[in-house]
Amino acid sequence: MTTESAINAALSRHTIAGLVLLAVAISTGCGKPTEPAKPAKPVETSMARFSLRGDLPKSRPSNFVGSEACRECHAAINDSFAKHPMGKSIGTPDQVETIETYPSGPIEVAGQRLYRVEDHDGIVMHHEYALTPAGEVAFDQAEPISFAVGSGQRGRAYLIFKDGTFRQSPIGWYSTDDRWDLSPGYTPDKHQRFQRRVGDGCLYCHAGQVDSIGHDRYAEQPFIEASISCERCHGPGEDHIAFHRSGPGKDQSLDPIINPDKLSVSARESVCNQCHLQGNFTIPRYGRSFNDFRPGDEMEDIFVCLVNPPSTRDGETSRVVSQVEQMRTSQCYIQSQSQLGCTSCHDPHAPAPSENRDQYYADRCNACHNDRGCSLPPADRQAAPASGSCIHCHMPADTQTNVPHTAQTDHRILRQPLEKRTRGAKPKSKSLAIEELQVFGDAKQIPTWEQSRAIGIAMMTQAWRTEDLNLARQAITKLIPATTIQAGPGAMIASLTPDIPALNEVASYLWLTDNPEAAAKCWTHILELAPKDETALSGMAMASRRFGDAKEANRYVDQVLSITPESPQWLTQKTKLLWEQEQFDEAFETAEKLLRADPTLVELRQWLADSYREKGKSDQADIHQQTLHRLQQAANK
C-alpha cells in the first residue's frame, strides 16, 4: 500500500465520524472524494442589494446568580430540589451518587471490542480494548471520565472534557437493567468510539449553565452551574434579590422573578418544553442559540421545533417521541383546553415519593376525575397488577425502547387500559420524511421566512448526511428565493448575511452540487464574520486540499486542531500534509498522536511500520508490526 493510499484509507475511517462541516448540530456526514478542481466559476462581488436579513436580535439577560444565592430565602425548596432528578442532572464522578458497579469486569457487546470501567478513589476510567485468541491485549485505550450525565434514575452517560470540548464515552449505565452496555446510538464496531462530540444542543438540557467560549466550546471550568438550576425555570435572579433587599413594603407584583404558575399557558408550558420537547429537529431562530431561552419566553420566541404530525388514534402503539408530543394528543389535554400541563402531575421542586407513588399520581388524576372515577368495579380496580394505580393502566411504562429523550411512560393517557390494547407491537420510529414534519406550537408567531429557514436547515442536514443532491436542491429553495438563487452564489451568500448557520448550509449546498470555489467563498465570508467558526475552518481545510494549496490547507488544519487537538480526522490530514512536505519526523509524531486517539487504525499502523523501516527506524517499525499482528488476530478470532 502506498503512503498516499494508506493515509487516505485512515482518513476514510473518520470522514463520517469527524466531519463537522456544513450543518447545524451535524455530528455525522460523508465528504466527497477529492478530485481535480474544475475551472473557477465567476462569483459576484456586489452583495449589499441582495440582503434578506435584518439586524440581529438583542442579547438576552444574563444576570444569573446561581442556586446557592436562592438558598438564603428558599432553603427548604432548594434542599428538596437537590433530590429531584433535575437537581442531579450532571456532576463529576466523585460528586454523584455511586449507583454503578465498579470495577465492571469485561463488558461484552456483539463484535470484537470489549469494554471495562474502573473507579480509583473517584477517578473513573473507561476502557475499550481487544484480545487475541490467546488472550493477549491487542490494544487498550483508557479515557478519564470528567462528568456523569443523568440522575441515575434510568441510567447515565459519561463525558470526557479536554481542550475545551466534550466527547462521550461509548459505554453507559442502564439502571433499569443494572448493567453497563453501549450508550444509545452506538452499534458494535461501527461507532465513533471516544470521539462523539457533545455540545450546546445536549448540554442545554442536561446542565444548569455553561461557560461558553464559542459554538460547542467551553472555558477551562465548563460549568458555571452544573446541574439544572433554579434560574432555568425562574429566570436570572439578580434583579429579584435586589428587589427584596431594597426594603419592605413594595408591591410584590413588581417582583421581576418569574413564577411559571402566573404565566400564560403557552409560556408556562414552554418552561418545561425547552428541554422536554425533543422533536425531530430543533433549530434556533435567526440570531438565537440554545442558551438564549429565558423563562417567560415562549418556545417559538427562540426555536423552531419540527415534529411529527400528531396521532390520536386510541389503538395505535406509542410513537418514539417526547412526553410533550404525546401529552398534546391526549384527551385530558384537549378537553381541558390546554390547561392540563406538566405541573398538573409533576412537582418541579420534588420527586414523586417512591413509597406511595401510585397514590401520589392517583390524587392528581382525581383532581379532575373525582366526580366520575374509574369505571371498573372496586374489586377489579384493586386487583393485581394495577392494585388501584391509575397510571398502571392509563400511562403504562414503555419497556420496548431505550431511546433517549423519548417518553418512557405513555403520556397519551389513553382511556382504554393496556389490557385492551394491542400488545407486542413496537413503537413507531421517528420519521425523517422532512416534508411531513410540522412546526410545533403557534406557527403564526414565527415569520414564514423563519419557518422556511428552519425546514431548509433540516433538509440540508439530512441531505449532507445522505449525500442526497435532490434533497439539497429542495433545501436551498427553502433558504433562498428562486430569483436570488438564479442571481448566483454571490447573491446567495449576501442574502443570508449575517446568518452564519444558514450560510454554512449554503456552503454545504455549493459543495454537494460541485461548486467548490463558491463554497470556499462562502466559508471565507463566514470566517470574516466569525474567525473561529469550526465548520468554516474545516470547510476551508477541505477546499484547500482539493485546490492543491498545501500551504493554505496546512494553515486551516492547524486552526481546526487548535480547537480539537485530538480529532482523528484532522490529525490524519496533518500527517498527510507533513509527509508531502517531507517533514518526516513531524509526520511520525503526528501519526503517533493519532494512534493514541484511535489505536484501531490498522491501515495507518501498517503505513507507520513500513515508513519507519524505510527511514531506518527498525525498532519503532517492529513495535507497530507486532501491534498490527495482534490487532489482526483479534479481528479474526
Give residue 433's pLDDT.
Answer: 75
Whole-number Å distance between alpha carbons of 619 and 624: 9
Element (H, E) at 166: strand 165-168
**Residue type at 132?**
T
Place of cell 457533545: 198
Query: Residue 508: is it exposed, middle or buried by C-beta count within 10 angstroms (0-12/13-18/19+)?
Result: buried
Is residue 34 pLDDT above 70, yes or no?
Answer: no
394-438 pLDDT, tens per residue?
988 876 555 565 557 888 888 876 554 444 455 554 445 787 889
Give residue 419's pLDDT.
Answer: 52
Give residue 320's pLDDT.
Answer: 60
Give residue 251's pLDDT.
Answer: 87
CB 506 within 8 A of CB 522: yes
Q: What is the DSSP string of 556-582?
A: HHHHHHHH-TT-HHHHHHHHHHHHHTT
Whole-number Å distance between alpha carbons of 247 and 245: 5
Is residue 302 pLDDT above 90, yes or no?
Answer: yes
Give residue 235's pLDDT.
Answer: 97
Where residue 611 falls (left for φ over 0; alpha for ψ -120 to 50; beta otherwise) is alpha
As a residue count, the chain comes to 637
Give residue 4's pLDDT.
Answer: 43
Looking at the chain, the whole-number percentage of residues with pLDDT higher than 90 is 69
pLDDT, mean over the chain: 86
Q: What average pLDDT does range 293-321 have in this prediction?
A: 79
Is residue 624 pLDDT above 90, yes or no?
Answer: yes
Instruction: Say how many CA atoms lie within 13 Å of 356 toward its Cβ.
Output: 5
SS3 content of the chain, % helix, strand, coil (to 5): 45, 15, 40
pLDDT category at 546 given cuts 50, 70, 90 is very high
Give residue 71's pLDDT.
Answer: 94
135-145 pLDDT, tens per residue?
999 999 999 99
Is residue 30 pLDDT above 80, yes or no?
Answer: no
Angle at 100 between CA 159 and CA 350, to 5 degrees: 85
Is residue 515 pLDDT above 80, yes or no?
Answer: yes
Angle at 210 between CA 205 and CA 211, to 5 degrees: 160
271-290 pLDDT, tens per residue?
999 999 988 999 999 999 99
Full-model pTM: 0.87
358-403 pLDDT, tens per residue?
999 999 998 888 887 788 888 888 888 888 899 988 988 876 555 5
Whole-number Å distance between alpha carbons of 179 and 55: 51
Q: What average pLDDT does range 258-262 have in this prediction?
A: 96
Q: What would the grid cell of residue 43 be?
A: 462569483
Is residue 461 pLDDT above 80, yes or no?
Answer: yes
Contacts 24+ apart (CB under 8 A), 95-102: 96/148, 96/152, 96/156, 97/152, 99/152, 99/156, 99/173, 99/175, 100/156, 100/173, 100/180, 101/178, 101/179, 101/180
Give residue 402's pLDDT.
Answer: 54
CB 150 within 8 A of CB 168: no
Give residue 22's pLDDT.
Answer: 28
200-252 pLDDT, tens per residue?
999 999 999 999 999 999 999 999 999 999 999 999 999 999 999 998 878 88
564-614 pLDDT, tens per residue?
999 999 999 999 999 999 999 999 999 999 999 999 999 999 999 999 999
Give residue 41's pLDDT.
Answer: 40
pLDDT category at 51 given cuts 50, 70, 90 is low
594-606 pLDDT, tens per residue?
999 999 999 999 9
Closest CA relative to residue 320, chosen from 275, 278, 269, 276: 278
Structural domain spans, the chain: 3-55+438-636, 68-241
Whole-number Å distance between alpha carbons of 622 and 483: 62
Fold of 3-55+438-636: 1.25.40
Is residue 1 pLDDT above 70, yes or no?
Answer: no
CA dihedral 274, 280, 286, 290 (to 10 degrees): 40
